Amino acid sequence: MKSLTDFEHSGIGKACLLIANGASFELEIETIKKYQHNVDIVVCDKTLGHCLKNGIIPKYCIVADSNVNYEVYMEPYKDQLKDTILFQNVCANTKWVDNGNWKDRYFFVCKDAVSSESIFGQLSGCSNYIAAGTNVSNGMVVFLTQCDNTHTRNFFGYDKLLLIGFDYSWEVDGNYYAFDHYGGGKRYYMKHIYGRNMAGKLCYTSNNLSFSVQWLQKYISAFRLPVIQCSKHSVLQTSLNGALAEQIQYRFKPEDAALLTNMAKKKRALVVDLAKIERGITDIQLAHHFARLASC
């Protein structure tokens, strides 16, 4: 168990590109390849292989589910992970963390409405608690910001969180997933709702995808997060929108990250010292209080 405090404020001054597996990711693959060295890239399980096959090296990969297929989505790429850090739910498929030449591995526990974190945190010994999202795509936004019902914050500190592949829908003549027309049959049996995406194209979505898009919209707006939707081929509408080719080139004083990270480390140490001092003061005061009472 290693603390996620290693990453606090580490993204200040930069944009972070979050890649989900919607078809818009495929449409922007050349833009991502061209500008990848100017941005930190976070992928989820199903987008890891697509990136590596196209010469795109993610900085982070997030795995959240127990049923995500290792043999399909990671095993072919297990020797190409030396520059990628894995963040894995303690309840996720153990084959992902047991294999691969990952640069590093970190665990987290999801906090949810039934307080399952009290069980899985104790069983695993992991104290990195992250609020649960509705799916791994939403979970990437939650993981990087770590807002919950107790506080608002931007934990990793990125100036901008750029979304691509966060489609929550598929176009009538397009793919269900990036590089996958049928999506294992989901193209047909998940077709619950008809509509138009922000590009004005006819599209389909499902009941659970519709719920997830509404959940993420509320999460972003409630905490006023610097999330930018970079594709119109989506039904996820955010208050901030932009062209990926422009947004991915953002930089502003990234050297501040080292300063902030060091300050945060000193602050945590001072908080510990302050708690010790306050306990010491209290102990001495109590000792004198009871000595005074005993002498009366």
Q: Each residue of 50-73: pLDDT tens digit? A: 999 999 999 999 999 989 999 999
- Identify whether residues 248 and 276 lie together within a single domain: no
Same domain, 36 and 180: yes
- The two three-digit tokens of residue 194, written as one number: 């008809």
- Give the model's pLDDT for residue 126: 92
- Region class of 253: left (phi > 0), else alpha (psi between -120 and 50), else beta: left
- Looking at the structure, tell me whether residues 146 and 167 fall in a common domain: yes
The reply to whether 259 and 226 lie within a common domain is: no
Q: Do residues 296 and 265 both lie within one domain? A: yes
Instruction: Tell me which residue has tokens 């890891």.
Output: 48
Task: State the chain's mean pLDDT as an integer.
Answer: 93
Question: Looking at the structure, do residues 248 and 261 belong to the same domain, yes or no?
Answer: no
Quick check: helix, strand or coil at residue 103? coil
Same domain, 27 and 169: yes
Question: What share of the chain has pLDDT > 90, as a percent?
Answer: 79
pTM for the whole structure: 0.88
Tens-place pLDDT, residues 101-152: 999 999 999 998 888 988 998 999 999 999 998 999 999 999 999 999 888 9
41 vs 110, 160, 211, 246, CA distance in Å?
A: 22, 12, 26, 16
What is the 3-class SS of 154-179, one letter each residue? CCCCCCEEEEECCCCCEECCCCCECC
Candidates 124, 100, 106; CA nearest to 49 is 100
* Gap between the Cα atoms of 106 and 181, Å rounded: 33
pLDDT at residue 296 tops 80:
no
**pLDDT for residue 129:** 94
pLDDT tens per residue, range 146-198 = 999 888 999 999 999 999 999 999 999 999 999 999 999 999 999 999 999 99
Per-residue tokens: 254: 């990234």
**Cα(102)–Cα(30) distance, rounded to whole angstroms?**
25
pLDDT of residue 151: 87
- Quick one: 24 and 157 in the same domain? yes
Residue 292 above 90 pLDDT? no
Q: Domain count of the chain?
A: 2
pLDDT on residue 287: 87
Same domain, 205 and 265: no
pLDDT per residue as tens digits for the range 251-269: 998 888 888 888 888 888 8
Task: Say whether both 289 and 158 belong to one domain.
Answer: no
Structural domain harbouring 96:
4-254
Do residues 211 and 269 share a domain?
A: no
Same domain, 159 and 283: no
